Chain A
């Protein structure tokens, strides 16, 4: 339901009534084919919001060429009602009489993901945005870089379409700025600015200078620091620590002068051809209105801000919030939260799983093997999209002459409902056993037509398409004769392939509806509980004797939630759930099988034998731990401790000191504490940010200030990375007089013992001179490190790779952040990378959600387009075994007529049908079904034949 608004939700969790307003589109989506003829004739030209106003569009439009659904809409605010579009639309899809409609939906749960807006920097007068064309926002710059953008991917500056030589990127535009009512950090701008700078340099034919003006670089995500380093060292992007106060146009040149204060606070300036403003997140008005309509409170900035321990909840049960609606975040975090919200909804509705969906019934499949070829060819006009360039009638007449063709027809729109009904009738009436549609791209339409032939009793793989629109009529518009000739060629190729098509069916395998969770920390236990409450039994394997992991060392989250209490509750629920089997002091030693059917071997201390279990999915939540530092006198001086050491000694507000050993003076009597950040992180051999330490240090510093307001606290840092709303904590810390001093990696602080106390020597960049601080204690923000040895073992057992820092690698860093490359294996918590408690909870629920999509199926259908061994041809040379990227091929031997026959075997559950084996085989011993060498060869020969 696009073009719609949610008006309100009433009822209770599990049983809501939602009222939805369907806004008029003035186009019938069932009829519109997205051909674009209407927009060609529309006389109205207006700024294109998709291209951020850098290009123009018509009043009848689609947002962009790849839009889903590809259905036009009339912008009635701009439309003058001339009626041209209605007249030119052959599909009769224009419906001026369209009116808004309200509908009511019965739903068990609601997930809110309305997204965000970007800050409009026109309010910042000093940056010249909106007054000088060469000052653009980062989103506009994305469009400039894009091949589908206003300059077709050429890097041009807007004022004169010249090639820029120097571009400045200004960070924190409308972020970390209370004057613009945004005290928070937008979290993603540092990384996208680095990306844009690198891509701009790649796009530019001439040498391009890119400079990023920043306060702190916040590369706190997984492997982000490596990317930051690449930008500096390989791509040569300049990073200027500064505060920009003005962007001034230089008269007549198109150039802009950037005025700033440098790291020492001295004024400086530099000229650029273009300035890109890294504008931050804003709560969108639409989202705030939505929250108000649903009676869901938002924070002072308009974002929903759930508690850290229930990170996707809203104030209303059964209604969940995710994505940028609950604060600035990047793509993988949004995707993770999306799955986490789905997990919570699925848990709530578990008893009703499958009750609202119906299974499609198909007629029995016809066996066509013994039948003579009877090919049906349907040639599409696609309105005028094909017919204006290609002589459709000629193509159809030609198709009639091709061998095996029994029936031909031409349709105005082959994909329309009535045309498909007609195709089904023709298949039955003319006993067709192969079907070809010559129209658009199989990438978009093959599934639709496969469904059609299936409904007519044919195997869906007896269908073939000829792409005579996207790859013919649209790209040869000025050459109708040649386009017609090519269309005939494409149809001839399709007929050649269709003649050789075979019915295919993927194997169907059962699913063991239980999961194994490796690791009993917060992440593992959260995943286990969600899965079990969704109805799937869980085995939980923990290598320690106790559940709880790192959370046992934490007291409170930065928003004050009690971690200890939460943990006790969690352990209790896990231990007492009848369908969770907790196995402590155990390690996984081997894993066989595949998604839906894993056979796991594990060992329990002190036994020496391997025990076994079976499960359908594996969730890796094996955690990480705090590094024991080897510098700054840690372990040598009792007053040098880590943040976790400190955290365990912090009393509850108003409560008593916990009984930790007091090898430092009582906390409330200390006069001074120095905190050192990035101890073991962001350095050679461990080039990553441990993400949690900045916020953790500031949280603990504020707690110390609470205990003793007179205490002097210094935080020695490299970049403060309090992303999102944690920035507010940083602001509070500075307001309370906590001193933040930056140090360079090349000039680390030095800690010396002086009497009972300590002396910290560092360098003050603002004063430009060395600084010595006498202190009672030094607290180190030690890196979070992955357990190298045990992760390597688990990685081998599961065939899931680790990154170079020994954290588990996800299948896709943006779009599949909790899926492992091995199907059926999911990753969450610190096994994936350092993260906070709330982030671990979200990721754990996300992993549970992904696992549930697999476990909820009784059978999984494997794709039939995979490799197949022709045993008679295979001589067991094994050339194909190593190149297989999915490790799906094994060499086997068996006895045949008294001698050993070598051959290979394909694991159907692993094979993805890439065909690398087919290409390496010298004997045609292994082929990809539906893309066999003979089938491809027939197409090639048909392509080379003449009419």
Chain B
């Protein structure tokens, strides 16, 4: 696979500090490789992610939104 191919989706992930964000850190410690086109926004609880945030992300160009908590 070439490093920069044609279309790559950009995914915004809202991750809870106590579980999924910690899980993403652990993936790092274990050197589990995954695509670079996901960026994590840390929240203290996935419960604080307003539905408008998700809509805003999608309308302003995100190809996918993940809320994990």
Q: How many Å from the CB of A914 to the closest CB on chain B?
A: 4
Contact A944 B61 (CB under 8 A): yes
**Which residue of the partner chain B has the closest CB to A915?**
B48
Interface string of B15-54 (1 = CB under 8 A from A): 0010001101111111111111101111111011111110
Q: Which of these binds chain B: A49-57, A431-439, A468-476, A895-903?
A: A468-476
Report chain A residues within 8 Å CB of B22.
443
Chain B CB count within 10 A is highest, among A469, A472, A865, A943, for A943
Do A940 and B48 contact each other (CB < 8 Å), given the known contacts A481-B3, A482-B3, A915-B43?
Answer: no
Chain B CB count within 10 A is highest, among A148, A490, A915, for A915
- Residue of B28, B36, B41 touching A493 (CB-CB under 8 A): B41
Report chain B residues within 8 Å CB of A95.
none
Could you tell me the distance between the alpha carbons of A472 and B31 in the complex, rounded to whole angstroms? Answer: 10
Contact B39 A919 (CB under 8 A): no
- Residue of B26, B28, B43 touching A469 (CB-CB under 8 A): B28
Interface string of A461-487 (1 = CB under 8 A from B): 000000101111011111101110110
The A contact surface, by secondary structure, is: helix
Report chain B residues within 8 Å CB of A99.
none
Q: How many Å from the CB of A445 to the closest CB on chain B?
A: 11
Contact B44 A919 (CB under 8 A): no
Report chain B residues within 8 Å CB of A944.
10, 12, 57, 60-62
A65 sits at the interface (CB 8 A): yes
A928 sits at the interface (CB 8 A): yes
Do A914 and B53 contact each other (CB < 8 Å), given the known contacts A475-B33, A482-B4, A940-B12?
Answer: no
Q: Tell me the residues in window 102-138 of chain A with beta carbons closer than 8 Å to chain B beta carbons.
A: none
Could you tell me the distance between the alpha carbons of A469 and B41 in the complex, rounded to whole angstroms? Answer: 15
Q: How many Å from the CB of B34 to the closest CB on chain A?
A: 6
Contact B36 A939 (CB under 8 A): no
Do A482 and B33 contact each other (CB < 8 Å), given the known contacts A914-B47, A919-B47, A940-B56?
Answer: no
Q: How many Å from the CB of B65 to the closest CB on chain A?
A: 9
Contact A943 B33 (CB under 8 A): no
Could you tell me the distance between the alpha carbons of A493 and B4 in the complex, rounded to whole angstroms? Answer: 22
Report chain A residues within 8 Å CB of B4.
481-482
Using a Cβ–Cβ cut-off of 8 Å, how many residues does chain B contribute to the interface with A? Answer: 41
Report chain A residues within 8 Å CB of B12.
940, 943-944
**Which residue of the partner chain A has the closest CB to B11?**
A943
Q: Tell me the residues in window 914-947 of chain A with beta carbons closer than 8 Å to chain B beta carbons.
A: 914-916, 918-919, 921, 928, 931, 933, 936-937, 939-941, 943-944
Report chain A residues within 8 Å CB of B30.
65, 148
Chain B CB count within 10 A is highest, among A444, A486, A921, A940, for A940
Report chain A residues within 8 Å CB of B14.
936
Could you tell me the distance between the alpha carbons of A941 and B59 in the complex, rounded to whole angstroms? Answer: 11
**Which residue of the partner chain A has the closest CB to B31?**
A474
Could you tell me the distance between the alpha carbons of A478 and B34 in the complex, rounded to whole angstroms? Answer: 10
Contact A475 B45 (CB under 8 A): no
Could you tell me the distance between the alpha carbons of A476 and B32 in the complex, rounded to whole angstroms? Answer: 9
Q: How many Å from the CB of A506 to the closest CB on chain B?
A: 14
Contact B25 A443 (CB under 8 A): yes
Q: Tell me the residues in window 438-471 of chain A with beta carbons closer than 8 Å to chain B beta carbons.
A: 441-444, 467, 469-471
Besides A467-B25, A475-B32, A944-B60, 8 more A-B contacts (Cβ < 8 Å) are A443-B21, A470-B28, A475-B34, A914-B47, A919-B50, A928-B48, A931-B48, A944-B57
Measured CB to CB, the residues of B under 8 A from A are 3-4, 10, 12, 14, 17, 21-22, 24-37, 39-45, 47-53, 56-57, 60-62
- Can you give 23 contacting A-B residue pairs, CB < 8 Å? A65-B26, A65-B30, A66-B29, A148-B26, A443-B17, A471-B25, A471-B27, A471-B40, A472-B36, A475-B27, A475-B28, A478-B33, A479-B3, A914-B48, A915-B45, A915-B47, A916-B47, A919-B49, A928-B48, A931-B48, A940-B60, A944-B10, A944-B61
